[in-house]
Amino acid sequence: LEKYVNSSCQPLAETCVLALEKIKFDHSAEVQSADPSPKDRVYASIDPAPATTATKSVDELKVILCNPEVGLWKRYRAMFALRDIGTEEAVLALAEGMETDRTSALFRHEIGFIFGEMQHPASVPALARILANSEEESMVRHEAAEALGSVATPEVNGILALYINDPEPVVRDSCIVALDMFEHETSGEFQYAVIPEDESVPKSAELIAA
């Protein structure tokens, strides 16, 4: 990890920095004294940074999240704390961070991933704007597309359909996947990617062919 912290590829370098901070944290006194299986854990993901426990104030966490002068590790910890709070106010704070940050595509991409976990309707407007922005990094637009598929509010299908022929391969592929996710989330099926016996292709593929 230390070998790549100065990589010319910014997302790679930042990921290595976060990973090194996570190793340091995992061996810290804070972790050694913590409950190994907190009862209030909502998400099963292995997060790149633990939610901060220093404050539960959405306003204070938003200040940390949206300040590019604060180190990425602290901003990530604020990000996951807002996710765990889970209110509409927390979602809007995350959306502000995603749309105003200009320093790190990795950071914006991570918020997109979190929105996919949260599945909160309040994230849809910001995700739609991110997906529509052709100047945004493709990795961020990709995550916005898949998050929209996970949220699966009624307007999402139409939003995603606009970009299934996007010039960026990773964006159009993500929209195809997200349309399948939308179909799953609104179908009542228990398991994702189950194809009924009388269907050979997902409906999103039929849409593209049309």
Q: Quick check: 13 and 6 in contact, CB under 8 A?
A: yes
Nearest CA among 168, 179, 111, 169 for reference residue 144 = 111
d(CA 139, CA 130): 11
Instruction: Give the pLDDT of residue 188.
Output: 74
* Residue 5 amino acid letter: V
Instruction: Give the pLDDT of residue 44.
Output: 82
- Here the tokens at position 169 are 């391969």
Instruction: Give the pLDDT of residue 187.
Output: 86
Q: Coil, helix or strand for 43? A: coil
For the chain, residues with pLDDT lower than 70 are: 32-40, 189-210
Residue 122 has what DSSP assignment? Answer: G
Q: Coil, helix or strand for 210? A: coil
Query: CB within 8 A of 113, min separation 6: which ones?
Result: 143, 147
For residue 195, the tally of other CB atoms under 10 A from its CB is: 10
Instruction: Give the pLDDT of residue 30.
Output: 74
Instruction: Give the pLDDT of residue 33.
Output: 61
Residue 2 has what DSSP assignment? Answer: G
Instruction: Give the pLDDT of residue 124.
Output: 98
Instruction: Give the pLDDT of residue 166.
Output: 97
Instruction: Give the pLDDT of residue 150.
Output: 96
Instruction: Give the pLDDT of residue 45.
Output: 87
- Here the tokens at position 83 are 């996710």
Chain position carrying tokens 């999402």: 156
d(CA 102, CA 157): 28
Residue pLDDT, tens place only, 104-131: 999 999 999 999 999 999 999 999 999 9
